[in-house]
Amino acid sequence: MRIIDRYILKSILSIFFGMVITFAFLFILIDTFGNIQDFIEKHVPWTVIGQYYLSFLPMIIVNTSTMACLMATLFTYSNLSSHNEIVAIRTSGMNFWQVTRPALIFSLVVSAAVLLVNECFVPQSSLVNQQIRENQIKVTVSEKKKGIPIIKNFTLYGLKNRLYFIDTFDPNTNTIVGISIIGHDRNQNLIEKIVALKGEWTGIAWKFHNCQITAYNSALPNMPGEVKVYPEKLMDIKETPKDFLRQRLDVTAMNIRQLNDYIGRFSDSGAIRTVNNLRVDLFEKIALPLRNIVIVLAGLPFVLTSAGKRKAATFTSIGLALIIGFLYYVLDAVGLALGKGGGLPPWSCAFVAPVIFLTIGLTAIKSKY
């Protein structure tokens, strides 16, 4: 590695890790203030609090790495520009790609690390975090005397090899609306499909209203047999409202392979909206690591053209980082919203922001260099 590359990379690394530590500290501080009443009321031991926040670290790394990588890169090259070091490097015959090679390689390494952490560590840490919160930290509804938020687009893999798709689940009244249940045999052949407008928990069993049950012959896949319609029916469903709350799907607790397998089970369910939303979540996970390299590539040509005093360069890099980061997250949120709303195919919605920012970056590089 060249001396200039080591010099640039050293600066990027020190700022990057400083930013990650700062973001982690702010997150823990804000979350502590939000949960301090629960900590006190539950008399939570310090060891449990420590485990709780340690389980957040993989998620913090994944969610803050983009801004940390962007700010570290822009700070470093803005500082080089303010000292006219970029001019000296360029006069030695180095082009844009040679000058920015340390930053681009570093962003690629961070992208690979984000993919690894998000696939191998985030799912498990998310489950640990949820278990600690629900079992040892969270104050129950009866203790707080407050309602539980209504859950929408609820999916569950339940007993008897059944897949549940529920539009709305209200834990306060134990009612569900917009119900689709798909039953499979041990070989994953479709054997039943239950559709109902509404369901109520009687305290012993679920009572479905406007219920339709379709039986399927496992020997003839996807061929419906007898259809029965009931105005009201007590269902042979073992899951209780508490089971629904405990076992509801958390996409963050699944990696790409697990989520893809989960979607495969639902592909013939007929719950088009839920499957579409899950596919959007899948492609969001695939596109997530790309944002580190894309956002750095989009910011570098602008920061390299800015020069001035050291303080001005610092404010310039902060401003650029905030603007680029804000615009990227806005575009990403719009793309995902369009995907879940049916405005874009699931495979394309997660790549709206990366494609736009990559185009902007390459266009700026071509026009300026």
* Cα distance between residue 115 and residue 288, in whole Å: 8
Sign of the dihedral defined by the CA atoms of residues 177, 183, 188, 191, in that order: negative
The domain boundary, picked from 226, 249, 272, lies at 249
Together in a domain, 158 and 121: no
- Per run of 10 residues, the mean pLDDT along the chain (length 369 residues) is 84 92 91 85 85 89 89 87 78 83 92 91 83 71 56 77 85 89 79 91 92 81 80 88 69 79 67 78 90 89 65 65 86 90 88 92 82
Structural domain contains residue 175: yes
Tell which residue, 265, 261, 244, 317, has the closest CA to residue 79.
Answer: 317
Q: How far apart are CA 241 and CA 288, in angstroms?
A: 34
Last residue of a domain, one of 207, 232, 249: 249
Residue pair 196/210 in contact (Cβ under 8 Å)? The answer is: yes
Tell whether 225 is covered by a domain: yes
pLDDT single digits (tens) 317-363: 677 777 888 899 999 999 989 988 888 898 899 999 999 999 988 89
Residue 140 lies in a domain: no
Looking at the structure, do residues 102 and 42 belong to the same domain, yes or no?
yes
pTM for the predicted model, two decimal places = 0.71
Residue-number span of the structural domain to which 243 is assigned: 147-249
Query: Based on the domain organization, do 70 and 124 belong to the same domain?
Result: yes
Q: Which residue has the tokens 């979350």?
A: 31
Contacts of 351 (CB under 8 A, 6+ apart): 283, 287, 290, 335
Inside any domain, residue 48: yes
Same domain, 356 and 312: yes
User: Does some domain include residue 135?
Assistant: no
Residue 31 CB partners (closer than 8 Å, separation 6+): 53, 56
Which of 206, 233, 249 is the C-terminal boundary of a domain? 249
Judgement on whether residues 20 and 121 belong to the same structural domain of the protein: yes
Closest CA to 336 of 326, 327, 349: 349
pLDDT in tens, 283-302: 999 998 888 999 998 888 88
Asked if the structure places residue 99 within a domain, the reply is yes
Query: Considering the domain boundaries, does residue 47 fall inside one?
Result: yes
Structurally, how many domains does the chain consist of? 2
Indicate whether 19 and 122 sit together in one domain.
yes
Q: Pull the structure tokens for residue 369.
A: 């260099």
CATH number of the domain to which 216 belongs: 2.60.450
Same domain? 124 vs 151: no
